[in-house]
Structure 1
Amino acid sequence: MAGQVGARVGILGAGAVGGMLAVLLAEAGHEVTVLASERTSTAINVGGIALRSQKFGDRRAHVPARPYLTAPVDVLFVAVKAPDLLAALGRVPAALLSDTAVAPLLNGTDHVALLRAALPRTAVVPMTVSVEATRTAPGDIEHLSPFLEYALAEERERARVDPEDLLRTTGLDVDASAPDEATLLWRKLSFLAPLALLTTHARQPVGPARDAHPDLLDGLVTETAAAAATAGAEIDPAAVAKRIAGLPAGMRSSMLKDAIAGATLELDAIAGPILRALPDGAPVTRAVVAEIAEAR
């Protein structure tokens, strides 16, 4: 029954990732509830969630939204930004999640331990998502490229309703090749941190930024791979560099978009694990983070 139609799904956060997921899961026949601020909940309850996607086309789903969870769910996807996690947990009473799989989709690594401490009676199943998407207004999501990939570890806590099976009912690609949680999380971070830090530091999309600062990019990639090794995750810097080299020149990281918009940056979630893993090293990452923080 793990991925059966009609599963009760909560989505904490109605940004680009959470909003898109709400549309896809609702269209697959699941009972979706979105948990967001009163302003965003009202907008969704009035007009639904509109998704404009290169991969899925134009879709709109009318799903209930509310400021806090009022009934148990089978799976809770946590799709808030890392700096908002602690406050967002107030929207999901732990007593309603005792038989729930909690699947966080946050950047970084530290959120997993926090969720397990805050929700000790749940199965926390870390996941990652790679996508270029933007919330242009409450309930209005743009998926800017056809690429969309979810991943989770082969070795993970098992729950009555498994998030992997649930996502597969929507037709989404799910990569379960990571052998463990550390590898899963650092595979994402080893790519995301150099991309986000480089583009935000340069205030440019990835094409101009990587062309103008090849040595900076190389240092960021090398240091992130070294930090991953301290957690037992084996990352190939050459493979990461090749992946970044193949990105569309106009692609902008979420951190760059946030910096341009004057929004809070996920600096600690994305760079913090590297700096904490290499307290006497990572000079390139340290300098870039310092410059980004000073510019704020």
Structure 2
Amino acid sequence: MTSTNATAPAKLPAGDIPWNHYRMQKKLSDHIVDVIIWLLLAAIVVIITYPIWFILIASVSDQNAVNLGKVTLLPVGFNWDGYREIFADTRIWDGYRNTIVYSVVGTALNMLVTLPAAFALSRKELGKVRRVVLFFFSLTMFVSGGMIPTYLLFKSLGLVDNWLVFILPSAVNVYNLIIARSFFETAVPEELFDSAKVDGMSYGGYFLKIVLPLSSAVIAVVALYYFVAHWNEFFTGLMYINDDSRKPLQNVLQAILLSNQTGAEGSASLDAAAQQELADKIKYGVIFVSSLPLLVIYPFLQKYFNKGVLLGAVKG
């Protein structure tokens, strides 16, 4: 008599296919496609990362070798002369300090203004009013007062040679506002607001206690956009800041680069080649020094960045 206690293989739910079974079922054409995909991904990684790597190795290489095309994957004639010259200038530490302050304080103010405004514009209760407000916001992306009227306005407000010129005029970026509004409008279920309203929660409580905790992705994206914009700020310091102690990093690096370039052009013939080589090293070093903090920060925000861009830009 056949035993009925024999253990039968467990059945997987529909749609759950073991990975080993899936690998056994793959055909030769599937393996070829996988190889092509991996090669394309590797090529994209190389295309993106090689320029950064080249700038790094060129900044510590002999510039004659760089000019002759001998520097490709590894440094040639390794030395730190360019970075030594950059960091020997005390102005760079003032520039780093200023840029960090402007970026952190500016980003905090940006988020404090942008997120509530985006949430308000995402609410359907405002009706046609929100479209009118958004239209005037969007109009500033295409129409501006011009350089001279803007300078006169900032001067009359006391923002010339004032560090607040980096903070207040850029308190809201309309592009980031639209991204955040689209996210709140499409990614946060309206049923959550209905439940909150039943519990007697106000709009402010709903925004702070429910919407913001669910919006970490778009918050990271918008914050990164704002931080990068503040970190790369160059034109504002060039136009409105005359005091060297208040200039951001980008303006300081430009001053260091120009001073060394001018020194190379005005030096005697015997020293001209050496001065020019040092100026070229500083040129590459300046690019890497200004980009390094962002390269360090971005990997920690990458997963939020990718998710936030996809969720926040689905609908306009």
Give the TM bin, normalised by the shorter chain: under 0.3
Q: Structure 1 length as normaliser, TM-score?
A: 0.22
| Greater length-normalized contact order (CA 8 Å, ≥ 6 residues apart) | 2
Q: Structure 2 length as normaliser, TM-score?
A: 0.21
- Which structure has the highest strand share of the two? 1
- Which structure has the highest helix share of the two? 2
Larger radius of gyration: 2
